[in-house]
Amino acid sequence: MNKETLKNLTHAHAWLGLIISGVLMIVFVCGSISFFRHNITQWDSQYHAPAAASGEVVPVSTILDNIAAQNFAIPAHHNLLIALPSAEQPYYYTAFETETADGHHVDHQLNFDAVTGQQLPFDLDTFYLSDMLYNLHISLLLPYGTEIVGVITLLFFVMVMSGLCMVLKKMISHFYQYRTNRNKDTYLDGHTLIGVSSLPFTFVFALTGVMFNLSIVLQAGFGFAVFKGDIPALIQTAGFFQFPQVEYSGNAVNNSQVDVILKKTQTQYPNQAIKIINIYGAGDENGEVEVRLHEQNSLVPTTYLTYKLKDASFIDEYNSKQAPTAATYTVLSNLHFGEFGGITLKFVYFILGFSCCYLILSGNLIWLEKRENNRQQSKRGLAFVKAMTLALSTGTLIAVACSFIGARLTSISWDRTELLPTLFFCAIGVSLLHAIFNSMQRQRVRLAMVQQLFVAALLFTICPIYDLINTIFGHTTHSYQLLDVVLVNAMLLVVAGFCFTLAQYKRRGLVKNSAFDDTPKPILE
């Protein structure tokens, strides 16, 4: 690769990084935290969740009868999802959609006691924090957010490739190089070291990010070019699971056949766990039951079995291994979510996700360092980039911390789908204003960064302290949620410790001549 090409790629790498850094930072911070999505839901609901009932678990048919007694208008081709009680969630969770007379769909989510079968006054959807963080990760909670994140991910993919081209020749010989005498070198060496070390991870994330958000373009183009616009034929060829298409017959059947189906399935597949069942046309002669078997520590973990509701006869078995496209999609998805391992793998993914945040931040700092030495550079433009970098690095952390506090301290009666996103974006806005105010006064950006890091550290410790005080004053976390509560609070404390350490490090001025290093000494030292 000639020098000119490398120079062009470096130029593109720097500018693309700067342009997409804001969105990418939110995507990576929220994505990293979303590895603990289920744990956060349990943490969020710990003061309201029902206790685990002891005794014999009632059969699924009892739950179906309870739902049927409430006369919900569930369309036959829509699923009635039932998650069976487990050690992590010791009650029946059900979710379904009803159709109103004017064709609108309304979501319902009901929980039932595993022993008595009675409906619980508890709605998991109330605890919106984990869903909000995940939605921020995939769509930024914006209209057309999925497409925006898709394009940003494509540009991130280009940055991974251009970065690889830039370090290709020196990848091995300079791998351990970490110069600490000049800040520009420290940032650059850290950027390269972490970038090269986490390359397989960033490659998978860039690829799967494009796949999730933009593969619809490939699907549509391929469908028209090869299948002459016959998209259902393309989907059939791709081999994804086809959901049962059921029409109501009007003849009622007993739901007890579902119990027979579950017993039969568990006998046939003793090594796989039944986690979820979906019922189409519940209580009707034409109804079908889809049982999902889950195999632990597998890249293709789910097997779908379909049965007839009226006589429990077997219809079909599906596993995405049967079709190359579906299998590839499933494997890549599992590589993205880190679902094929345990808690250790999730922590590794979490740390790798945050290391990508460091890549984004250090990339911006290298850009700023270079531009600060350029006298022709617009000072106002530079101040804006400094403020944006600050708001979208420490500001995002503050916003996440505020969301956790909002979820923990506000009343359950408040609508969290409105409250938490407002808190999140307001926190980023305040952080941006604080950064802009300080960047206009030149010399004070580094101090602003230290202040914001201290604030983030303080905010991240509030929820663990609150939980600790409650525990001291007699609150007992349900045993099935204990691990989740400890895990999430540990994660919050780790992030708080990271913010505090970095703030101290910056405050002491250990790193000199950084992009934010122009704070007057008397203020800091």
Interface with another protein (CB under 8 A), residue from 168, 218, 252, 523: 218
Count of H-run helices and E-run strands, the chain: 16, 8
- Closest approach of Cβ 91 to another protein, in Å? 38
Interface with another protein (CB under 8 A), residue from 115, 120, 158, 493: 158
Which one of the spans 70-78, 223-231, 273-281, 476-484 is the region binding another protein (CB under 8 A)? 223-231
SS3 category, 77:
coil
216 binds another protein (CB under 8 A): no
DSSP 246: -
- Closest approach of Cβ 235 to another protein, in Å? 10
149 binds another protein (CB under 8 A): no
Interface with another protein (CB under 8 A), residue from 120, 148, 167, 211: 211
- Closest approach of Cβ 359 to another protein, in Å? 17
207 binds another protein (CB under 8 A): yes
Task: Using alpha carbons, list the distances in angstroms from residue 427 to 36, 414, 520.
Answer: 22, 19, 27
162 binds another protein (CB under 8 A): yes
Residues numbered 232-271 forming contacts with another protein, rule: CB under 8 A = 233, 236-239
235 neighbors 222 (Cβ within 8 angstroms): no
Q: Give the residue with the Cβ less far from another protein, 101 or 225.
A: 225
- Angle between helix axes 3-34 and 145-167 (nearest 10 degrees) is 130
Residue type, 411: S
Show Cβ contacts of residue 515 under 8 Å, excluding neighbours closer than 6 positions: 183, 365, 368, 369, 372, 386, 445
Which one of the spans 202-210, 253-261, 271-279, 474-482 is the region binding another protein (CB under 8 A)? 202-210
221 binds another protein (CB under 8 A): yes
Interface with another protein (CB under 8 A), residue from 86, 98, 126, 215: 215
Size of the site for another protein (CB under 8 A): 42
CA atoms within a 13 Å half-sphere pointing along the CA-CB vector of 377 = 15
- Closest approach of Cβ 354 to another protein, in Å? 24
In 373-415, which residue ranges form alpha helices assigned H by DSSP?
A: 379-409
DSSP 158: H
| Residue of 220, 216, 499 lying closest to 354 (CA atoms) | 499
What does the block give as tokens for 426?
């307001």
Residues numbered 330-369 forming contacts with another protein, rule: CB under 8 A = 332
Residues numbered 269-328 forming contacts with another protein, rule: CB under 8 A = 323-325, 327-328
What does the block give as tokens for 37?
């999505």
Q: Please compute Rg for the chain using Cα positions.
A: 26
329 binds another protein (CB under 8 A): yes
Which one of the spans 21-29, 179-187, 208-216, 247-255 is the region binding another protein (CB under 8 A)? 208-216
**4 burial class (0-12, 13-18, 19+ CB within 10 angstroms)?**
exposed
Q: Give the residue with the Cβ less far from another protein, 158 or 502.
A: 158
451 binds another protein (CB under 8 A): no
Question: Whole-angstrom Cα distance, residue 146 to residue 348?
Answer: 26
180 binds another protein (CB under 8 A): no
92 neighbors 114 (Cβ within 8 angstroms): yes
One-character DSSP codes across 174-211: TTT----SSHHHHHHHHHHHHHHHTHHHHHHHHHHHHH
Task: Using alpha carbons, list the distances in angstroms from residue 81 to 94, 163, 371.
Answer: 5, 45, 56
Which one of the spans 29-37, 113-121, 231-239, 390-398 is the region binding another protein (CB under 8 A)? 231-239
| Per-residue binder mask for another protein (CB under 8 A), 9-48, x = binder | x--x--xx--------------------------------
210 binds another protein (CB under 8 A): yes
Question: Whole-angstrom Cα distance, residue 50 to residue 48?
Answer: 7
- Closest approach of Cβ 44 to another protein, in Å? 34
497 binds another protein (CB under 8 A): no
Which one of the spans 34-42, 55-63, 216-224, 343-351 is the region binding another protein (CB under 8 A)? 216-224
Q: Which residues contact another protein (rule: CB under 8 A)?
A: 1, 4-5, 8-9, 12, 15-16, 154, 157-158, 160-162, 165, 206-207, 210-211, 214-215, 217-218, 221-222, 225-228, 230, 233, 236-239, 323-325, 327-329, 332
